[in-house]
Amino acid sequence: DEKEKFEPTVFRDTIVQGLNEAGNDLEAIAKFLDATGSRLDYRRYADTLFDILVAGSMLAPGGTRIDDNDKTKMTSHCVFFADEDHDAIRNYAQVSR
């Protein structure tokens, strides 16, 4: 049996690229995440996916982002960059379900 490699940075790059290509349309983001879920193992990379959807990139222990300010490794389509009102946060929460 050959074990599958654990590559969270490849997963991050794929998700961030798709989110950035979807633009500001939360419906397009939800469709991207649904379509990608059949190809990528969301369960295996659940922590990385959560980091991206909340903070915009992978987080190191302690909460610092692991993106070296490289715009291709981060997205602004996340809770941290959402407008600070109840409806905006609820919309992001609905996308994450």
In a domain, residue 14? The reply is yes
In a domain, residue 52? The reply is yes
Average the pLDDT over 30-51 and give the result. Answer: 92
In a domain, residue 38? The reply is yes
Average pLDDT, the chain: 89
In a domain, residue 1? The reply is no
Average the pLDDT over 53-69 and give the result. Answer: 89
User: Sorting pLDDT into bands at 50, 70 and 90, what band is 67?
Assistant: confident
Contact 56, 64 (CB under 8 A): no
Range of the domain at 36: 8-94
Contact 16, 57 (CB under 8 A): yes
**How much is the pLDDT for 56?**
93
In a domain, residue 62? The reply is yes
* Burial (Cβ within 10 Å: 0-12, 13-18, ≥19) of residue 8: middle
Q: Note every long-range contact of 18-22, with CB atoms under 8 Å and residues 24 or more positions apart, other chains counting.
A: 19/52, 19/75, 19/77, 20/75, 20/77, 22/77
Listed in sequence order, the DSSP H helices in 23-85 are 26-37, 46-55
**How much is the pLDDT for 1?**
52
In a domain, residue 44? The reply is yes
In a domain, residue 3? The reply is no
In a domain, residue 39? The reply is yes
Q: How far apart are CA 87 and CA 11, in angstroms?
A: 29
The structure's pTM equals 0.85
**How much is the pLDDT for 97?**
63
The residue among 89 and 18 whose pLDDT is bigger is 18
How many domains does one find in the chain? 1
Model confidence at 14: pLDDT above 60:
yes
User: Sorting pLDDT into bands at 50, 70 and 90, what band is 53?
Assistant: very high
